[in-house]
């Protein structure tokens, strides 16, 4: 379903590496997962048009270029290194970054929709995680299963956030969709039965609560399942929340 690709912004050093996602249909929601919460129920088939998404979460180095340009607000928490995901940024901060990156490159960057995020996280499956129903530290940076503190084990040697792209990617080449840090998406938090079926974001003008996806290093693996959702106010700045970006389908 997915194919590698890149944007025309490749010559702009802070621009993220992108993966092209062809148009297609998939079943969204947690009806097939007996761990799912009520807000994941109500599966629907979503018909998504082509888009590109960043291979990994936006890094501290990439975001810092926007801060140095005087456009983005500095993150609330300092990353351990340039290749760690930026955290301590709000949904509004992520919007500032995508607007700045778009202006620098001439491409139209944006946050992913919730449907787009779940599509790439599922990688064509209906299991809890793209590799199966059991958590595996080879694929993600999860917290302790007793909640809520960091944990190490196996390939997961990180007490907090890990540098991007340190765990096994999806078959299509996406890293860190499960665990590490939550990822802001464009959507307003709402019921699935009101969400668009074309993969676009549920985004009313009066939205007060936004969606994050993917779980984090502080939380058990159950928070990182493909259909798991969480909600935060758009001004929230947490040490375990970052974001990745998408490109509109009509840009290279």
pLDDT digits (tens, 9 = 90+) for 198-217: 999 999 999 999 999 999 99
Q: How far apart are CA 55 and CA 245, in angstroms?
A: 9
Alpha-carbon 9 to chain mean position:
20
Q: What pLDDT digit, counting tens, does each position of 3-59 carry?
A: 444 444 444 667 899 999 999 999 999 999 999 999 999 999 999 999 999 999 999
**What is the average per-residue pLDDT within 171-193?**
95
Q: How far apart are CA 179 and CA 23, in angstroms?
A: 26
Backbone angles phi, psi at 99, to 5 degrees: -65, -40
Q: What's the pTM value of the predicted model, to 2 decimals? A: 0.93
For residue 10, what pLDDT is reported? 43
Q: Are 116 and 48 in contact (CB under 8 A)?
A: yes
The residues, any chain, with a CB within 8 Å of residue 142's CB and separated by 6 or more, are 135, 151, 156, 178, 179, 215, 217, 219, 220, 221, 224
How far CA 184 is from CA of 14, 26, 92, 129, in Å, comes to: 19, 21, 10, 19
How far CA 66 is from CA of 6, 32, 78, 129, 167, in Å, comes to: 21, 41, 15, 33, 27
């Amino acid at each position: 379903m997915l194919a590698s690709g890149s944007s025309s912004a490749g010559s702009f050093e802070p621009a993220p590496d992108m993966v092209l996602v062809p148009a297609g249909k998939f079943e969204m929601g947690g009806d097939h997962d007996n761990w799912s919460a009520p807000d994941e129920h109500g599966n629907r088939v979503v018909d998504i048009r082509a888009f590109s998404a960043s291979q990994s979460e936006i890094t501290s180095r990439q975001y810092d270029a926007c801060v140095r340009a005087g456009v983005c607000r500095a993150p609330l928490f300092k990353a351990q290194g340039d290749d760690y995901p930026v955290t301590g940024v709000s949904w509004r901060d992520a919007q500032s970054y995508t607007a700045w990156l778009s202006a620098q490159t001439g491409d139209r960057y944006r946050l992913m929709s919730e449907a787009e995020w779940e599509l790439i996280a599922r990688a064509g499956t209906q299991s809890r995680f793209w590799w199966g129903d059991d958590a595996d530290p080879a694929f993600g940076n999860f917290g302790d299963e007793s909640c809520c503190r960091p944990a190490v084990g196996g390939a997961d040697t990180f007490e907090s956030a890990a540098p991007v792209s340190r765990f096994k990617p999806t078959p299509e080449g996406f890293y860190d969709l499960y665990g590490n840090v939550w990822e802001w998406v464009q959507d307003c938090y709402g019921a699935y039965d009101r969400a668009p079926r074309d993969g676009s974001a549920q985004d009313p003008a009066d939205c007060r609560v936004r969606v994050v996806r993917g779980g984090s290093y502080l939380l058990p693996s159950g928070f990182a399942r493909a259909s798991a959702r969480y909600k935060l106010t758009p001004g929230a700045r947490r040490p375990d929340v970052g974001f990745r970006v998408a490109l509109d389908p009509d840009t290279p």
